[in-house]
């Protein structure tokens, strides 16, 4: 068995904890990402005029390393994260991330902090690759110099109460992203837009907010940090990727599992407010939340209860199947597992 840190794995939250090391690389405009090495985990020096601090020029990814039933440390679909990072950097005028460089940095960070990966079924080690502009400037424009960091932290459940049905609020007072913008990039500024609405929802007793399409508020888009699905008559419905929705890796995985393993029909199209309020089950997906049920949805003071006692049958099966693949409890028919150790 792999040796572990002396950590109470049963009390892990979803917080940033200090680990051994982090990957640090740099690049300038018109260069290709190639430089980088592991450094002791710690603070970084950055100018107060840095482009990322003043104009939010940065993107990030979220990944997990698991200790599986086969006593291996694995990553889940890192090629998808690498490709999404490449697309996001290009949209944010950052030198396009090289997928091989990205995966090498993530793997090196995982290996050097491998004793921080929780034991089998005790959580995961969250990996946060982030790239941002560091050139000092007070005029609006892309940076010239960029820094790429990958750090890690052992984590448990994303929600303090654990993986339980969420109470969600639909409001037309806020939008997460607009059409023809950068909603489909994992840009740091997209997430700050959900901070105040999320705070408002929590102050009213909800877990988070479900955002509506900016161009037509009759349709649902996503949550602040997760994609959303509805189930009706054993059919999955999820908003199509129309440019303002993040192409979630867990979203894509759930769709593949539903179609290829569970023989379910999946509709990637328009998900109306009426459809989500009349659904048999509703759940959200993401690297952090995995697959989590939504127990109630409130709109205009009208609360619709969906599943207050636990997971609906399809939500439960999707979550169990996904986790079983990630933890190597069942065969991986899609070649999604990337072993860091054998």
- pLDDT over 90 (residue 307): no
Same domain for 171 and 127? no
Could you tell me the pLDDT band of residue 325, with boundaries at 50, 70 and 90?
A: very high
Residue 121 lies in a domain: yes
309 Cβ contact list (under 8 Å, min separation 6): 165
Same domain for 171 and 318? yes
Q: What is the pTM of this model?
A: 0.95
- pLDDT over 80 (residue 6): yes
Same domain for 256 and 129? no
249 Cβ contact list (under 8 Å, min separation 6): 76, 77, 80, 81, 84, 287
Same domain for 142 and 202? no
| Among 130, 155, 180, residue at a domain's last position | 155
Residue 183 lies in a domain: yes
- Across all residues in the chain, what is the average pLDDT? 95
Total structural domains within the chain: 2
Q: Which range marks the domain in which residue 97 is found? A: 9-155
Query: SS in 3 state form for 230-250?
Result: EEECCEEEEECCCCCCCCCHH
Same domain for 172 and 204? yes
- pLDDT over 80 (residue 1): no
Residue 336 lies in a domain: no
Residue 17 lies in a domain: yes
Residue 251 lies in a domain: yes
pLDDT at residue 308, rounded to an integer: 59
Same domain for 191 and 124? no
pLDDT at residue 107, rounded to an integer: 98
Contact predicate 20/112, CB 8 Å = yes
The domain that holds 254 is classified in CATH as 3.20.10.10
Contact predicate 251/289, CB 8 Å = no
State the chain's maximal CA–CA distance in angstroms. 55
* pLDDT tens for each residue of 190-249: 999 899 999 999 999 999 999 999 999 999 999 999 999 999 999 999 999 988 999 999
Same domain for 112 and 215? no
Known catalytic residues are 186
Same domain for 266 and 241? yes
Mean pLDDT, range 71-88, rounded to an integer: 98
Same domain for 194 and 131? no
| Among 135, 155, 175, residue at a domain's last position | 155
Same domain for 322 and 177? yes
Same domain for 133 and 221? no
């Amino acid at each position: 068995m792999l040796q572990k840190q002396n950590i109470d794995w049963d009390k892990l939250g979803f917080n940033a904890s200090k680990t051994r090391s982090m990957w640090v690389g740099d690049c300038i405009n018109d260069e290709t990402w190639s430089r980088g090495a592991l450094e002791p985990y710690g603070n970084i020096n950055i100018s107060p005029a840095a482009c990322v601090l003043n104009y939010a020029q940065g993107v990030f990814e979220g990944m997990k390393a698991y200790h599986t039933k086969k006593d291996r440390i694995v990553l889940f679909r890192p090629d998808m994260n690498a490709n999404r990072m490449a697309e996001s950097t290009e949209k944010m005028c950052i030198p396009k991330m090289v997928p091989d460089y990205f995966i090498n940095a993530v793997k090196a960070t995982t290996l050097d902090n491998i004793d921080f990966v929780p034991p089998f079924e005790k959580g995961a080690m969250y990996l946060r690759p982030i790239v941002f502009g560091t050139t000092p400037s007070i005029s609006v424009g892309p940076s010239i110099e960029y820094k790429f960091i990958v750090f890690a932290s052992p984590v448990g459940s994303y929600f303090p109460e654990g993986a339980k049905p969420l109470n969600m609020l639909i409001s037309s007072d806020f939008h997460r992203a607009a059409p023809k913008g950068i909603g489909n990039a994992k840009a740091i500024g997209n997430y700050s837009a959900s901070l105040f609405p999320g705070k408002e929802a929590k102050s009213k007793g909800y877990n988070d907010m479900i955002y509506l399409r900016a161009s037509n508020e009759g349709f649902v888009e996503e949550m602040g940090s997760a994609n959303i699905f509805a189930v009706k008559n054993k059919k999955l419905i999820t908003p199509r990727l129309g440019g303002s929705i993040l192409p979630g890796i867990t979203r894509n995985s759930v769709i593949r599992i539903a179609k290829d393993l569970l023989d379910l029909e999946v509709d990637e199209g328009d998900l109306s407010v009426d459809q989500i309020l009349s659904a048999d089950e509703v759940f959200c997906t993401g690297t952090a939340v995995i697959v989590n049920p939504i127990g109630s949805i409130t709109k205009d003071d009208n609360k619709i209860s969906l599943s207050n006692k636990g997971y609906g049958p399809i939500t439960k099966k999707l979550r169990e199947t996904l986790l079983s693949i990630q933890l190597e409890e069942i065969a991986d028919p899609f070649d999604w597992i990337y072993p860091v150790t054998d």
